[in-house]
Structure 1
Amino acid sequence: MTDPRRTEQVHPQYTNLDTLPTTELVQAFADDQLNAIQAVRQAAPAIAAAIDAAFPRLERGGRIVYAGAGTSGRLGVLDATELTPTFSWPAERAVPLIAGGERAIRQAVEGAEDSFDLGVTDVRGANVGPDDILIGVAASGTTPYVLGTLQAAREAGALTIALANNPGAPLLAAAQCAILLDTGPEIISGSTRLKAGTAQKITLNTLSSALMVRLGKVYGNLMVDVKATNTKLEGRAVRLVQHATGTNEDTARQALNEADGSVKTAIVMLELSLRADEADRLLEKHAGHARAALEDSP
């Protein structure tokens, strides 16, 4: 019997994949991945609607909760983990739930993704509430664990967003914001870590990054809430301040030192000739939005 899910069907174009020379094999993988980009582009209106629905809840202090199994769950863990160093987003406000727990990040946990009740339990254990958003991710769109997380999150009053790679998937019907990433059959039949996973990663990056822009974590297109936790990021912080203010390296470093490493505070200090505490108060007045603070010169 043929599985109706497009992600599980055999790709008709690559039936001789195992006979291709290495160069052609690489080209085939690269070409097929282009379909992931196209799927995300087609889903752009749904992605934008999800961002607009999620933004007010995060403004009120809510959390981004990710839920998935296997590759989809690991992509959620990755996106959650990267928000803190990239945008200084509090780690406790990015909560990844993966079927089977932390052990499942590195190895398969048999049966975990097949448990609807485990999804419900994990959401309740995370104390998901009305100001939170839950992003459920499953290529098949049928994973019981993720369906359980969506149901529990909706019952708790959270906003639910679903990413799935098959039209008509139950996951999409279970969420308030449904995002279909129709990537079709995989070049290696059923291996949804390929273009289905790529489309999921692009979409998660887009969702979280756009929300961070709306929340004032970006000035222009500068990553002004970067958390400088190593030498590379310290250098990046200096360059960001220089770019935004037109100052030299020494001036930028001095401002960053006085601003306790905060790029946006250093920018406001230099642009408005303020002390660090004055710049911080002005930023606080404008909910951390550097542009609004700069346009409100005291």
Structure 2
Amino acid sequence: MEKKFTDTEENSRYDDLEKMSTEALLNNINKEDKTVAESVEKQIPEMEALVDEVASKMKTGGRLFYIGAGTSGRLGVLDASECPPTFGVSDHMVIGLIAGGDIALRNAVENAEDDLEQAWKDLQEYDISENDVLIGIAASGSTPYVIGGIKKAREYGISTGCITCSSNSPLAEVSEFPIEVITGPEFVTGSTRMKAGTAQKMVLNMISTSVMIKLGKIKGNKMVDMQLSNKKLVGRGTRMIMEELNIDEAEAARLLQQYGSVREVIAHYQL
């Protein structure tokens, strides 16, 4: 029988939420959150295939694009924005697009997610090509903005993946590398910023971090290419150099200032 609604719209396992004590609310939300990691774990084989595809494309100069609407779009933009400071890559290497444009990061944009054509128009502004990979993010797996972008990308030979929290969704059907993390009913019925959002954030962390490691952006377990954009990160970089070269803090700080990155310091002094 055809599903009348997505998995993410199923009724909560809890009722009369307004009658619960604060302690009960927090404990029950936490109880539901504990199930998310297990749901994500079941999709590791699917993630592995997508990570390898993204890494392969990026090694030859390709880029990674995320498209989504609402919470899903914001999570994609967040992951993309964290790659440059964490891994020292260009701002144009991982690109997140949200239905409705940047204003939608803070405000709901009416009907933005319902346009089947807009995602492809947005992607064309970045000259997306078959060298790139496009990942659509939609908890329900039914968002027109995302589905339209993925379908059009496939017409042009672009590798596509998706992250959704509903089984057998239209989005998964049109994606080459679908990841379906089935998180089940939300504590507040339909509030996919909760478990579904947590699952999507976890998957995005796993994908982008694994890709960057495969691209050589990590040495050992250290972010040797991170941008030294504040005192905390300069301090972290200094400690990395102290540990790697077995030198004191003052010398490590001097070398970091001289060479401008942890990687450059280590490269010059571990020859």
TM-score norm. by structure 1 comes to 0.88
Q: What's the counterpart of residue 127 of structure 1? A: 127
Q: State the secondary structure of the residue aligned to 1:229.
A: coil
Q: Tell me whether 1:160 sits opposite 2:160 in the alignment.
A: yes
Which amino acid is the alignment partner of residue 221 of structure 2? N
What is the 5 A alignment of 1:186-265? 186-259=186-259, 261-265=260-264
Which amino acid is the alignment partner of residue 50 of structure 2? A
Which amino acid is the alignment partner of residue 267 of structure 1? I
Assess if the C-alpha contact under 8 Å between 1:36 and 1:198 holds in 2: yes
Q: State the secondary structure of the residue aligned to 2:61.
A: coil
Q: What's the counterpart of residue 292 of structure 1? A: none
1:156 to partner: Cα distance: 2.8
- Between 1:147-156 and 1:161-170, the stretch displaced more is 147-156
- Between 1:250-259 and 1:230-239, the stretch displaced more is 250-259
Which amino acid is the alignment partner of residue 86 of structure 2? T
1:251 to partner: Cα distance: 2.1
Assess if the C-alpha contact under 8 Å between 1:123 and 1:152 holds in 2: no
Q: What's the counterpart of residue 284 of structure 1? A: none
Distance change in 2, residues 1:144/1:268 (3 Å): same
Q: What's the counterpart of residue 5 of structure 2? A: 4
Structure 1 residues 167-225: Cα deviation after superposition (integer angstroms, max 9, x where no partner): 10011111111101100110100000000000000000110010010011101111111
Instruction: Give, in whole Å, the separation in 1 of the partners of 2:119 and 2:199.
Output: 23
1:64 to partner: Cα distance: 1.2
Instruction: Give, in whole Å, the separation in 2 of the partners of 1:107 and 1:96.
Output: 17
Q: What's the counterpart of residue 75 of structure 1? A: 75
Which amino acid is the alignment partner of residue 160 of structure 1? T
Q: What's the counterpart of residue 96 of structure 2? A: 96
Instruction: Give, in whole Å, the separation in 1 of the partners of 2:240 and 2:135.
Output: 31
Q: Tell me whether 1:84 sits opposite 2:54 in the alignment.
A: no
Instruction: Give, in whole Å, the separation in 2 of the partners of 1:233 and 1:136.
Output: 32
Over 6 Å off, 4+ runs:
none
1:82 to partner: Cα distance: 0.5
- Between 1:17-26 and 1:60-69, the stretch displaced more is 17-26
Q: What's the counterpart of residue 268 of structure 1? A: 267
Q: Which runs of 5 or more residues in structure 2 are unaligned?
A: none
- Measured on the aligned residues, the alpha-carbon RMSD in Å equals 1.4
More helix by share: 1
* Number of residue pairs matched by the alignment: 270
Q: State the secondary structure of the residue aligned to 1:116.
A: coil
Assess if the C-alpha contact under 8 Å between 1:69 and 1:138 holds in 2: yes
Instruction: Give, in whole Å, the separation in 2 of the partners of 1:151 and 1:244.
Output: 47
Which amino acid is the alignment partner of residue 249 of structure 1? E
Assess if the C-alpha contact under 8 Å between 1:256 and 1:263 holds in 2: yes
Q: Tell me whether 1:115 sits opposite 2:98 in the alignment.
A: no
Q: State the secondary structure of the residue aligned to 2:192.
A: coil
Q: What's the counterpart of residue 294 of structure 1? A: none
Instruction: Give, in whole Å, the separation in 1 of the partners of 2:120 and 2:90.
Output: 24
1:106 to partner: Cα distance: 0.6
Q: Which runs of 5 or more residues in structure 1 are unaligned?
A: 273-298
Q: Relative contact order (C-alpha < 8 Å, sep 6+): which is higher?
A: 2
Instruction: Give, in whole Å, the separation in 2 of the partners of 1:127 and 1:149.
Output: 14
Which amino acid is the alignment partner of residue 266 of structure 2? I
Instruction: Give, in whole Å, the separation in 2 of the partners of 1:131 and 1:178.
Output: 19
1:243 to partner: Cα distance: 2.0
Which amino acid is the alignment partner of residue 264 of structure 2? T
